[in-house]
Amino acid sequence: MAVESVAECPWNGWPNVHGIGGRITVESVAECDRNTQPLAELQEFLQHTPSHHRRHPTGLLGLYAAQLANHSALKKAIRQNPRLVDYMTLVDATTCPIHDDIRRLGVDDGGPLDRLHQEYHRAIAVMDALLISSPANDDWSAVERAEKALEQAIIEAFWKSKAEDGNPLSSG
């Protein structure tokens, strides 16, 4: 079935529970008024594979996102089976990719951000050990406080760097 014929199909149309209806319409992106990139440039861009030579994250917002993702993965793994994570590795913040990212980005070497990252690792390692000894324990409040303090410090470092660059309101 051609894409263009979808709009003409009798099943293409619906009312929702409030009686508001809709239809699927097909529009060529290349011909769309909102497309600001000429078709030739778009085709040229799509022919090149993205470069993965750059180390990520490349800035403090990326560091913040990486911390969110790492925390989520660690918490899920620990909740699934606390024995999946080695206590000695978990308690040592220097084994964490975030530690390397902080160093590589040149922020806070040994300062408050580094200290909060270490505190976060101590808190999550203690939680892991508690869950091994007492699986019914589900009080993550110490971990959540440490996580929020670290994330807040990353955001504050971001805004401080923007202010130092003379661009305090920029988010980029």
Give the whole-angstrom CA distance, residue 88 versus residue 121. 10
pLDDT of residue 16: 56
pTM: 0.66
Tokens (6 digits) for 104 = 């590589």
Share of the chain above pLDDT 90, in %: 52
Residue 114 Cα to chain centre, angstroms: 20
Which residues lie below 8 Å from residue 102, measured CB to CB, with a gap of 6+? 63, 108, 109, 113, 114, 117
Average pLDDT over residues 159-165: 85
| H helix or E strand, kind and range, residue 2 | none
The helix or strand, by DSSP H or E, that contains position 82, with its residue range, turns out to be none
Q: Of the candidates 126, 139, 128, which has an alpha carbon nearest to the alpha carbon of residue 78?
A: 128
Chain segment 102-160, per-residue pLDDT in tens: 998 888 667 899 999 999 999 999 999 999 999 999 899 999 999 999 999 999 999 98
| Model pLDDT, residue 48 | 72
How far, in Å, CA of 79 to CA of 49, rounded? Answer: 38
Do 67 and 94 contact (CB within 8 A), yes or no?
no
What pLDDT is recorded for position 69? 95
Helix (H, G, I), strand (E, B) or coil at 65: helix
What pLDDT is attached to residue 46? 72
- The total of other beta-carbon atoms located within 10 Å of residue 141's CB is 9
